[in-house]
Amino acid sequence: MFEQVSAAPPDPILGLTEAFKTDPRPEKVNLGVGVFQDDEGRTPVLKAVKAAEAALLAAEKTKNYFPIAGEPEFGRKVEEFLFGEAAVPGARTAQTPGGTGALRVAADFFAEISQSRRVWLSDPTWPNHRGVFGAPGLAIQPYPYYDAARRSVNAGALADALDKVPAGDAVVLHLCCHNPTGADLDAEQWKTVSEIAARRGWLPIFDAAYIGFGDSLEADRAPLRPFLDAGVEMLIATSFSKNFGLYRERAGALTLVAPARAADAVFSRIKRVIRVLYSNPPAHGGQIVQTILSDALLRQVWRDELNGMCARIHAMRARFAEGMARRAPDRDFAFIRAQRGMFSFSGISAAHVAWLRSERAIYMTGDGRINVAGLTPQNLDYVCDAVAAALRTERGG
């Protein structure tokens, strides 16, 4: 049987990391992969995480299974993290293996309850969305999102398209730090989208993978507010991979917001999906998040570290934009400063991307997406010089 099986295509982003690792050139720079890096190019364990782990190790008494949705206290802390202090009566939260796990549970749950079995994804979007939502057989439709010429959200086309999405369909919305473009909606545009969702009756599925990386915890979660205020039902897939630096621990959560009287019944369906997917969540990463969010001191340490990561991203955006303005004044890179999160579409063509990789050992995805957190004070001038040199070549235009 296995003799006939052909190989799967390599994952475009993880494949890039493999190629980067085996590149022998010491000056190499990885702007491809989606992890935060500090000024030294490392992805360290946060101090708050180390302290929480020490406390957990000392206190742990059992490795017994968790409930299907994880511990209720974890859910409460996540809901506070998303909505603030005031409880949302129709909210229920399941601890999941990372943000991807939360998205997959959302996809399977939606496939089970929906008549249309159709989900709308932003164009472009994180490539894995297509795989995750396609897995349970959902039909996938793109909605317009990015205006490449203006390097920002095409809010008019977006609103027009979402106004035509049929009731009962699902729409995946990046809460903040849109991956791959770095272009987010502003408060007014979010309000418009929430009004459309309320009027049309489609289901928003928020992908919240970067809360705290855009402007701040409070600012980045703010788009949820108009949806809550309008009484819109929704699902929120939260990842703690980036904002707690817990990548390999697989910490995430799926939050349901339903009418309060229906919430338990709906949540029981989500639990059934989890039971057949992975039965119950891995404990460690979620317990770290819960420990930090439950302890005022640890919470403050983590907030300071999160703010530090966010500030570094902003600083690198500003310095890259300045560096390019000096070296390639005829090209616009100012938008890099205005965009949010780790990613931006640099506007660099596929041919220039290939040139940067072969001639300068600088790695980015073929669409020109860069992870600005891969920039450091040490490699910034090297990268700016290389991009300017690439733009001067004939290749790619």
Pick the stretch among 94-102, 326-334, 344-352, 381-389 that binds ligand PLP (CB under 6 A): 94-102
- Cβ distance to ligand PLP smaller for residue 174 or 352: 174
Which residues between 243 and 282 bind ligand PLP (CB under 6 A)? 252
Whether residue 132 contacts residue 100, with contact meaning beta carbons closer than 8 Å, is answered with: yes
Which of 202, 242, 302, 355 is flagged as catalytic? 242
Out of 98, 212, 226, 323, the only residue in the binding site for ligand PLP (CB under 6 A) is: 98
Q: Does 79 bind ligand PLP (CB under 6 A)?
A: no
- Region near ligand PLP per CB under 6 A, out of 42-50, 92-100, 142-150, 161-169: 92-100
Cα–Cα distance, 278 to 97 (Å, whole number): 9
| Token pair recorded at residue 280 | 């119950």
The question of whether 126 is a catalytic residue gets the answer yes
Beta carbon of residue 208, minimum distance to ligand PLP (angstroms, whole number): 8
Paired tokens of 88? 């949302």
Q: What is the sign of the dihedral through the CA atoms of 241, 245, 250 and 252?
A: negative
Q: Find tokens 């791959």 and name the residue.
A: 180
Tokens matching residue 183: 């272009």
Whether residue 77 lies in the annotated active site: no
Find the farthest-apart pair of alpha carbons in the chain and give their distance in angstroms, rounded. Answer: 64
Question: Which of 100, 344, 371, 379 is close enough to bind ligand PLP by CB under 6 A?
Answer: 100
276-315 positions binding ligand PLP, by CB under 6 A: none
For residue 206, give the DSSP letter: E
State which of residues 122, 239, 344, 371 lies at the interface with ligand PLP (CB under 6 A): 239
CB of 100 to ligand PLP, least distance (A): 3
Instruction: Work out whether 184 is an interface residue with ligand PLP (CB under 6 A).
Output: no
Choose which of 34, 70, 204, 212 interacts with ligand PLP (CB under 6 A): 34
The distance of closest approach from Cβ of residue 175 to ligand PLP in the complex, given in angstroms and rounded to an integer, is 9
Four-residue CA torsion sign, 18, 23, 26, 31: negative
120 is catalytic: no
Q: Measuring CA to CA, which residue among 157, 113, 156, 102 is closest to residue 138?
A: 113
Binding test (CB under 6 A) with ligand PLP, winner from 32, 99, 226, 245: 99
Contacts of 163 (CB under 8 A, 6+ apart): 196, 200
Given 126, 190, 202, 302, which residue is catalytic? Answer: 126
Q: Does 241 bind ligand PLP (CB under 6 A)?
A: yes
- Angstrom CA distances, 57 to 78, 195, 373, 390, stand at 22, 47, 31, 51
- Site residue total, ligand PLP (CB under 6 A): 12
Q: How far apart are CA 223 and CA 236, in angstroms?
A: 12
Q: Which of 126, 143, 190, 355 binds ligand PLP (CB under 6 A)?
A: 126
Nearest distance, CB of residue 2 and ligand PLP, angstroms: 29
Catalytic residue among 108, 169, 207, 220: 207
Residues with Cβ within 8 Å of residue 308, at least 6 apart in sequence: none
Q: For residue 381, which phi and psi values (nearest 5 degrees)?
A: -65, -40
- Whole-number Cα distances in Å, 313 to 215, 246, 248: 10, 18, 22
Amino acid at 35: V
**What are the catalytic residues?**
126, 207, 242
State the residues that interact with ligand PLP by CB under 6 A: 34, 98-100, 126, 174, 179, 207, 209, 239, 241, 252
